[in-house]
Structure 1
Amino acid sequence: MKSSSLPPFYKFSPSNALLFLLHIFTLSSTVYTAQVGTTTAAQNDLIDQLPGQPGPVNFTQYSGYVTVNDTAGRALFYWLQEAQGGSKVSDSAPLVLWLNGGPGCSSVAYGASEELGVFRINSNGETLFLNEYAWNKVANILFLDSPAGVGFSYSNTSSDLYKFGDANTARDSYAFLLGWFERFPKYKYRDFYITGESYAGHYVPQLSQIVYKQNKGVENPIINFKGFMVGNAVTDDYNDYIGLFEFWWNHGLISDETYRNLKLVCSMDSSEHPTNACNDAINTAYDEMGNIDPYSIYTPTCKKASSKRKQLRAGYRLMFGGYDPCTEIYSTKYYNHPAVQKALHANVTKIPYSWQTCSDIVGVYWGDSPRSMLPIYEELIAAGLKIWVFSGDTDSVVPLTGTRYSIDALNLSTVTSWYAWYDGTGEVGGWSQVYKGLTLATVRGAGHEVPLHQPLRGLILFEHFITNKPLPNGNNKN
């Protein structure tokens, strides 16, 4: 998604003994109980109450670490928010993994805290309030900080943080899943989906490919993988760049001359390693844009926050990085509080570095980054997996135009032509087209982080993905 050698805390991320784990949540007069199928390690990860949490709540949550490499001492941090409504609901609801991108950004910071998670952080950075449109209304949501060095995830081998890339991130994430399912055996064989945004446009299909390949030939796989969904996703360098520059020009953000120059000097570049001439042209474009938020071009900028735009220009990580609303300031304060870390079972190694939303190390020293995810799409479409791609239409960092060019390059046949879908209020929520093997959906008025800017529409989109129903048009209200 959005988007950050030393151990962890950075930003723009089993025991087999079966126990009867009893945990009581009270909502009005209702009692909720965690169930059979949790291990001792899972019991230790149970969150009783977060500092500043509005209580009581009707769902169970866990957080902690799963070691993915004993030799290096790499451990990834997770936060599970089970489906609302107690065990009767969570036991039947699917499990959904959410990944933010960067590379180097925390899913706790973004996905959990300002997008689809159940809690939002108040401006004091000390108290929480409930998100009315949390995605755990319809599924069990598992947030993962990946790779090590992102958010609360860490490595005891500091050199690890300077050599991460796509391949080893996918391997570690798969190792995490194997360990996590042993810790939570009740989720074995449950319908499982992988979701994410931004540079997770690489993470999600790459991890999906590993899970799919490992499941091939297995009659009843433990990781019962059904498909993936990505939003405003870095997908294919060539199409992403072409669509990016076109979006800037079509929305009046840059001059005709700069648009022509960008197409000339960046046309064959990689967004991971642009040439100096391309960097210069991008800098000129950002100067012409002025002080806007490129992740959401029509919303006000946060006057309290340091400019993410300056960071992007300094690092030339145009396709990466993250949305920088004021909530980033609130989360930085909240997750650095010792009581919060204790409640989350985080920072257990007592690393003396501040938690950040994105890692300044991991993102800068990123290694391998394939130019295109389209070959993986082709493989997984052929496998019959459910694949949805969505895009907020006011994002100028990984814009809708680039996504459409990438999907067009797949040459898929159309099942349902382009149509407007509605959000239940009588307003158009966006537009959608169903291809053979893939559904594309836009979210009207949303920036880079769809659930942040359009929470109702984001939840509707997610629920229809999970249930595999087409988004509602004017005649179909479902």
Structure 2
Amino acid sequence: MAAPLLFSSFFLLLGFRHSALASSEPAGQEMDRISALPGQPPVAFSQYSGYVTVNEEHGRALFYWLTEATASPEKKPLVLWLNGGPGCSSVAYGASEEIGPFRINRTGSSLYMNNYSWNRVANLLFLESPAGVGFSYTNTTSDLKDSGDNRTAQDALVFLVRWMTRFPQYKYREFYISGESYAGHYVPQLAKKVHDYNKGQSQSQSRPFINLKGFIVGNAVTDNYYDNMGTVSYWWTHSMISDRTYRSILKHCNFSSTKSSEKCDDWLSYAMNREFGNIDQYSIYTPSCLKLTNGTLPVMRFGNTLLRRRVSGYDPCTENYAEKYYNRRDVQKALHANITGIPYKWTACSDVLIKYWKDGEISMLPTYKELISAGLRIWVFSGDTDSVVPVTATRFSLRHLNISVKTRWYPWYSGNQVGGWTEVYKGLTFATVRGAGHEVPLFQPKRAFILFKWPPTEKKMKCNKRDGMCGL
């Protein structure tokens, strides 16, 4: 990983001077207020949504949706949520089937409440990123074939600075970044951008206005080599592939390379097409949605993303509900979305972005080390029934951070049941969520909420089942 950039070099790379970065649209906060969404139950909290331009020359604008905390929002932290893909929508996944306040009914005609929404304890900011995802757009078509990790992080930083100009009440507020899957790249990369940006601000400021305190990621793509090794190990240890196939994959696949050999591809294809069977790889012990089963099998690619099927997420049917709802003109009008008349339908994921993804870091571990040294609070969680970015992959990656253990492995509780297991390192806490697939808050909403509300701390804890956690 390259050495830290000097402040001046950083902003030359970013493409903006500070004055240009901070300037932007006028404070249009009230214009972004959502009065109510079609079919929405009554709520007491405020909602806002709209666009923030992140690049005037190319016409790139990112769509956001803010759902404020249900009580005392002025006292609660701000949490940004990012979904991965790359190319998948935080509105489709994070907001609509994971941590947001609403769920969509089967017909796409109305919403109902999520009893374990994270906005019970925080203000939630969902961002569709990069441009080309969901309602976020660019007026420069070539941008869709030129996206990558670096520009995604840069645009997200510009978004935050300009969004906080529009919402000054969130300046200096405790701020956390969260996400899952390929957001295992987005989240720490953006955290580093914010950290570097804050270092460049005037030393006379007692605290930065983007008051980043830490980040939390789930089932996160972390390191190509260890993720790939851990994934294939998960397949074998969970009886998804035979001994012969496991040995052949290890023999013919070079996990250190961004390109796979023909032999490697053949064995991966054999595993998926002949041995996996018709299972949901994002949740291996739950039924698949048969309505969308059409014989299309997942596509394996080593490198930036280990595995992706055409329809991503836990239940392909829930994506249908979201696509019905967010393509309604009355919904788009209420959200202040699609104001430029995007010439394509809103979809949960963009196949163009994943196909042409330009750059992806091989490993996020150096970034983790830098941010741990900077004193950020970091939580990593993993649903243990996901075979796409499985718990073994995450554990292999974290083990090679070579950081010391502060609190040894112990179970944490949800009610009277073990909710998962956790281990606390110096600067990072890792937790598993028992019985959860790739989208942890979808499969285990209560356990995910407990983890978010009170993650395992860096203290030895006594059993306290009332609060949900139990430790040494």
TM-score by length of 2: 0.89
The secondary structure found in structure 2 opposite 1:44 is helix
- Per-residue CA distance 1:375-428 (angstroms, 9 max, x = gap): 0000001111100000000000000001001110011111100000001x2000
2:463 aligned with 1:474: yes
User: Mind listing any 5+ residue stretches in structure 1 that lack a counterpart?
Assistant: 1-13, 18-38
Q: Is the 8 A contact 1:419 1:473 kept in 2?
A: no
Q: 2:328 aligns with which of 329, 337, 344?
A: 337
Task: State the alpha-carbon separation in 2 of the partners of residues 307 and 201 from structure 1.
Answer: 30
Runs of 4+ in 1 over 6 A off after TM superposition: 14-17, 469-473
- Per-residue CA distance 1:432-471 (angstroms, 9 max, x = gap): 0000010000000000000000000000111114x95769
Counterparts in 2 of 1:239 and 1:163: CA distance versus 1, 3 Å = same
**Residue matched to 1:428:** 418
2:175 aligned with 1:192: yes
1:261 Cα shift? 1.1
Q: Is the 8 A contact 1:201 1:230 kept in 2?
A: yes
**Residue matched to 1:154:** 137
**Residue matched to 1:318:** 306
1:274 Cα shift? 3.0
**Residue matched to 2:12:** none
The secondary structure found in structure 2 opposite 1:310 is coil
Counterparts in 2 of 1:354 and 1:238: CA distance versus 1, 3 Å = same
2:247 aligned with 1:256: no
Q: In terms of mean alpha carbon deviation, does 317-326 or 351-360 score higher? A: 317-326
Matching residue's letter, 2:66:
L
Task: State the alpha-carbon separation in 1 of the partners of residues 276 and 331 from structure 2.
Answer: 39
Q: 2:363 aligns with which of 372, 379, 390?
A: 372
Task: State the alpha-carbon separation in 1 of the partners of residues 329 and 460 from structure 2.
Answer: 43
Task: State the alpha-carbon separation in 1 of the partners of residues 296 and 457 from structure 2.
Answer: 37
Q: Is the 8 A contact 1:421 1:471 kept in 2?
A: no
- Per-residue CA distance 1:342-389 (angstroms, 9 max, x = gap): 000000001231111000111110011111000000000111110000
2:81 aligned with 1:116: no
TM-score by length of 1: 0.88
Task: State the alpha-carbon separation in 2 of the partners of residues 471 and 65 from structure 1.
Answer: 44
Matching residue's letter, 1:59:
F
Q: Is the 8 A contact 1:293 1:309 kept in 2?
A: no
1:210-249 map, 5 Å: 210-216=193-199, 218=201, 219-249=206-236
Q: 1:461 aligns with which of 440, 451, 468?
A: 451
1:266 Cα shift? 1.9
1:313 Cα shift? 4.6
**Residue matched to 2:377:** 386
User: Mind listing any 5+ residue stretches in structure 2 that lack a counterpart?
Assistant: 1-21, 468-472
Q: 2:126 aligns with which of 143, 152, 155?
A: 143
Task: State the alpha-carbon separation in 1 of the partners of residues 105 and 31 from structure 2.
Answer: 28
2:168 aligned with 1:179: no
1:257-272 map, 5 Å: 257-270=244-257
Q: Is the 8 A contact 2:411 2:421 kept in 1?
A: yes
Matching residue's letter, 1:268:
F
- Per-residue CA distance 1:151-184 (angstroms, 9 max, x = gap): 1000000110001000011001111101100010
1:220 Cα shift? 1.6
2:366 aligned with 1:396: no
**Residue matched to 1:419:** 410
1:15 Cα shift? 8.4
| More RCO (CA 8 Å, sep 6+) | 1
Q: Is the 8 A contact 1:103 1:320 kept in 2?
A: no
Q: Is the 8 A contact 1:443 1:457 kept in 2?
A: yes
Task: State the alpha-carbon separation in 2 of the partners of residues 471 and 266 from structure 1.
Answer: 42
Task: State the alpha-carbon separation in 2 of the partners of residues 431 and 379 from structure 1.
Answer: 26
1:314 Cα shift? 8.9
Counterparts in 2 of 1:256 and 1:60: CA distance versus 1, 3 Å = same
Q: Is the 8 A contact 1:422 1:473 kept in 2?
A: no
The number of residue pairs the alignment matches comes to: 437
Task: State the alpha-carbon separation in 2 of the partners of residues 471 and 184 from structure 1.
Answer: 38
Counterparts in 2 of 1:469 and 1:436: CA distance versus 1, 3 Å = closer
Matching residue's letter, 2:369:
E
Q: Is the 8 A contact 1:118 1:134 kept in 2?
A: yes
Q: In terms of mean alpha carbon deviation, does 310-319 or 74-83 score higher? A: 310-319
Counterparts in 2 of 1:124 and 1:469: CA distance versus 1, 3 Å = farther
Q: Is the 8 A contact 1:432 1:471 kept in 2?
A: no
Q: Is the 8 A contact 1:464 1:471 kept in 2?
A: no
**Residue matched to 2:264:** 278
Task: State the alpha-carbon separation in 1 of the partners of residues 135 and 295 from structure 2.
Answer: 21
**Residue matched to 2:429:** 439
Identity %: 58
**Residue matched to 1:21:** none
**Residue matched to 1:78:** 64
Task: State the alpha-carbon separation in 1 of the partners of residues 461 and 267 from structure 2.
Answer: 42
